Amino acid sequence: MRAYIYDNEPTDQRLPHETSPSQPISVEALNKLGVLYWNIPVEGDWEQEINKVAEERSYKNRDTINVSKEGLGDAYESKIRSFFEEHLHEDEEIRYIIEGSGFFDVRDVELDQWIRIAITPGDLLVLPAGIYHRFTLDEANNIKALRLFKDEPKWVPHPRSAETEVNPYRQQYLQSRGIPVA
């Protein structure tokens, strides 16, 4: 995993979009946003390690998603567009990368800028409920990820809007970061 400030250039979303000079972001800085990270190598018994994290964090369900042209078929283009639209969830978003690579962008709530998180096999990323984020593949156009859920598997995005600003999960997220809410 590598995190850095996103350059906001209007080019292909699958490019690295790293500022020049680079502005790296530490795991500690991600933690302050509520983003959690582990590296669990895919070589060896990664499933046992994932099970430990799942038990500690009360994740009860899981599935695997293959985000690629082959894996999504005719829905590929529309799914890629929807994943990259800024949104939040009312549940944590948990992904363990098994194959391939891509990017999660999270909105730094204090500076109102994107932080790009480059993910590769072995990365386990947890985004808190209520954080604005988006996802895209990189130029390899393929990622296989294990998705973990506290309850029944669901993926309901809430695109950023005036309505999501007052969403209770967004409000709770802001309060957890020490940001006053109206």
User: How far apart, in whole angstroms, are the C-alpha atoms of residue 137 and residue 139?
Assistant: 7
In a domain, residue 34? The reply is yes
In a domain, residue 104? The reply is yes
pLDDT in tens, 40-91: 999 989 999 999 999 999 999 999 999 999 999 999 999 999 999 999 999 9
Q: Which residues does the annotation place in the binding site for Fe(2+)?
A: 87, 89, 93, 133
| Ranges assigned E (strand) in 6-122 | 24-25, 36-39, 61-68, 87-88, 93-100, 102-108, 113-119
**Closest C-alpha to 100, from 68, 65, 64, 143:** 143
Residue 102 scores a pLDDT above 90: yes
CATH number at residue 19: 2.60.120.10
In a domain, residue 181? The reply is no
Residue 161 scores a pLDDT above 90: yes
User: How far apart, in whole angstroms, are the C-alpha atoms of residue 100 and residue 95?
Assistant: 13
Q: How many domains does the chain have?
A: 1
In a domain, residue 149? The reply is yes
User: How far apart, in whole angstroms, are the C-alpha atoms of residue 164 and residue 5?
Assistant: 24
**Domain ranges, residue 121:** 2-176
Q: Which residues does the annotation place in the binding site for Ni(2+)?
A: 87, 89, 93, 133
